[in-house]
Amino acid sequence: GQIVAEQLDPCIDLKPDLISLCAGGNDVLRPGGDPDKIADILDNAVAKLTDTGATLLLFTGPDIRDTPVLGSIRGKVAIYNENVRTVAARHDAIVADMWALQELHQSQMWAPDRLHFSPAGHQRIAAMALDSLNVAHPLDTEIVPAVDERSWREARKEDLQWAREHLAPWVLRRLRHQSSGDGITPKRPSATPFAQTKPNDSLGAGDSAK
């Protein structure tokens, strides 16, 4: 709902060639989240974005099979993903399928909160998105599985620590209909051109650019 209310019109005003939309995951995870009703909101948004003529890229949710607690609502995520694919087919959009990324079952693909992706996870998803668009890229997609050398006791101790630091606050926010992003301003609130400056190779030791 926030994306539709706050981001759709500014996106359309940009007259984009490509629109990527990854949305609905937090709504599905919330208690009482209905994957069908959420998909209806997505469908209406995509219908409006289709009129721009831009290429549309829609993301499914990841397979949370091995995620503590959240794994219990894996079926809701699967239903939502099927709805995403249906919306994509209806509006001729491209699907970036995170559910199919088996690499995301590796622990190093997730941040310490086990709710968000790590830098390595984001890079793997970025590579998958580029592959979905048939865009060549140099991103490394080889993932070496991490070997879990913890004892059972050590693993359970870390689970308890994770539950205190991350799971309990997350559950409380869901019950209060709050987001961890509430009150946080965006790094780039306005849609402006992004340019990355390259290092000045002509500078010598001790020189500086101003």
Tokens of 162: 């994770």
β-bridge pairing 55-59 and 18-21: parallel
Q: Residue 144's pLDDT is what?
A: 74
Tokens of 17: 């060639």
Length of the chain: 210
CA distance 200 to 208: 9
Residue 96 contacts residue 129 (beta carbons within 8 Å) = yes
CB-count burial class (<10 Å; 0-12, 13-18, 19+) for 78: middle
Convert the pLDDT of each residue in 158-171 to its tens digit: 778 878 887 788 77
Convert the pLDDT of each residue in 45-75 to its tens digit: 999 999 999 999 999 999 988 776 677 889 9
Q: Residue 69's pLDDT is what?
A: 65
The residues spanned by each domain of the chain are: 2-146, 149-179
Convert the pLDDT of each residue in 130-144 to its tens digit: 999 999 999 988 877
More confident residue, 105 or 182: 105
Of the candidate ranges 74-83, 97-106, 185-194, the one whose mean pLDDT is the lowest = 185-194
Convert the pLDDT of each residue in 98-118 to its tens digit: 999 999 988 889 888 888 899
DSSP lists the bridge partners of residue 57 as: 20, 94
Q: Over 60: is that where the pLDDT of 44 sits?
A: yes
CA distance 82 to 161: 34
Residue 141 contacts residue 127 (beta carbons within 8 Å) = yes
Three-state DSSP at 177 gives: coil
Mean pLDDT estimate for the chain: 85
Q: Which CATH class is domain 2-146?
A: alpha beta
